[in-house]
Structure 1
């Protein structure tokens, strides 16, 4: 795995690559390869997906790339366009443009693309399919725990709108106070949090990145845009691409309730959708990365 930084739609962006770096892809533009591109949920911190994508690369031997959402992974805050003056770069529509620009600039023209979208990443993928030059290269799409309709009406969406949005300023204040602490104390607190939450230790640095005030502001405001903008499901784009799409719903998902599965099967009976019977959570990368990677890889091999 390589860690790279690329400026995409004006925003310095973290990209993790397996199999080929961004430059190697440009140098071997004539090769007809499959590129697996994963679009994160929110927060869009690619480090949280390392174990998941490392296993997919090992099992499929395809090129695998994942990029952060704009402003969700930061190397140096001073290099980032100011949020207040550049909201269009960081909110939901800007994130969609950000991913489209990345694919158009870095994926070789003759390559085939397999897209994996987690949570709001699934919605972003459906929007990307409206771009003909991208849609024509996509051979398969996996939408995992997809928030592609009425996310604001989900149980977690209602909690966000009724409570979390009202305390944005308090959350940002607490983040600022945390970042004043010495690194040793920050690390101790995060170790305790990971231990109590039964999450792997490699998530410590991604979480430290997440609690930077700049990142939190971008994450929370993007989430608010999701609640307000993701409403009626785009059946046309799903129907037009249904032979490429496989959807995986959670059996108990507070962001994407099971009724969404029944509704889509009623509206598009021949779409390939499945309900998880293994107990994986919406945030599967926290505890179920390896079995989810095995599942997705097996689907790829079958097709």
Structure 2
């Protein structure tokens, strides 16, 4: 038995890509050669750790043949670098910065797997705004993406969504600065246990998720990057790219929720009309947009059969 079999997954690393440091989680396949690779693209805040349970359940099902890679969004989290010290980026990243670097992430991943004797299937799984990133990757690299699984896809008119309208003021430059300063002051004034207790009062966070938010996200620079990206989303993401779905709609498997404040049900009905070549589902399982906090197992149970339909091997 190899020692690697005793190492708890995911493996964690600080990956320098395109001149930027990315927090990266990796679930390697047990067979040594992957037949499929999943790039998991988070929503926002873009903490890869939110997706550990979800990705682990999926990996356990396909561990013999599947690699899973999940990267945090730039500037959204503090994490150990390759020397073990905490990486604290003072830079504020725009949506354009994030998209450009994610394209480099994909190219580097795809380039490494292209060196294998047989190229594995390249699959993308996006959550919320992560689906917009996945859509961009298909637009830029359609010939190298085999399938996209979009969960609660925030890919159109975010500013017009109920949550977008409610939070619009928070994304203004002066409010972003106030929120960032408030986060740092809160950490300075109160013990972390108290800050975690406050975070845990949020409806969408359990105790572990609240601790993750406080430890890795509740820092001024992270707040600024998350809110800057959100502001850009409201200004940038408008109507659906109908031409894209007319050309490569068959590559998309999209899962919409009911009562979703970021992705209203009208988005589901619109996608059903536009993308007649792909698979478009409406949730009947009571799963929320913020599934990573408390419903990772339920979401994985939906995604696993969808993966089984597209994977080219059978266990």
TM-score (norm 1): 0.87
Q: Does 1:121 find its partner at 2:130?
A: yes
Q: Once structures 1 and 2 are overlaid, which stretch shifts more, 70-79 or 147-156?
A: 70-79
Local SS of the residue matching 1:231: coil
Give the match for residue 187 of structure 2.
Answer: 179
- Counterpart check, 1:223 vs 2:230: yes
* Distance verdict in 2 for CA 1:32–1:286, change over 3 Å: closer
**Which sections of structure 2, spanning at least 5 residues, go unmatched?**
1-9, 311-315
Give the corresponding residue for 2:5.
none
Distance 1:276 1:200 in 2: 22
> Residue 72 of structure 2 aligns with which residue?
68
The alpha-carbon deviation at position 193 of structure 1 amounts to: 3.5
Aligned to 1:240: 247
What is the match of residue 138 of structure 1?
145
Give the Cα separation in 2 of the matches to 1:36 and 1:271: 19
**Judging changes above 3 Å, is the alpha-carbon distance between structure 1 residues 237 and 284 closer, same or farther for their aligned structure 2 residues?**
same
Count, aligned residues: 287
Secondary structure, aligned partner of 1:4: strand
The residue number in structure 2 matching 1:25 is: none
Query: Structure 1 stretches of 5 or more lacking a match?
Result: 22-27
Query: What is aligned with 2:268?
Result: 261
What TM-score results when the alignment is normalised by the length of structure 2?
0.84
Match of 1:202 in 2: 208
**Quick check: 1:111–1:137 contact (8 Å CA) kept in 2?**
no
SS at match of 1:71: coil
Q: Is residue 37–residue 114 contact of structure 1 (8 Å, CA) maintained in 2?
A: yes
Give the drift of 1:20. 5.6
The RMSD of aligned alpha carbons is 2.4
Contact 2:251 2:278 in 1 (8 A): no
Query: Which position in structure 2 is the counterpart of 1:150?
Result: 157
Change (3 A) 1:78 1:210: closer
* Deviation at residue 112 of structure 1 after TM alignment: 2.1
- Report Cα offsets for 1:46-67 as digits up to 9, x if no partner: 0011111010101122111100
Matched, 1:96 2:105: no
Deviations, residues 129-171 of structure 1 (Å, cap 9, x unaligned)? 1223xx2232221111011110011011111214553632331
> How many angstroms apart in 1 are the aligned matches of 2:256 and 2:209?
24
Aligned residues of 1:13 and 1:74 also touching (Cα < 8 A): no
Question: Displacement, 1:73?
Answer: 1.9
Whole-angstrom CA distance in 2 between matches of 1:297 and 1:207: 27
1:250, distance to aligned residue in structure 2 (A): 0.7
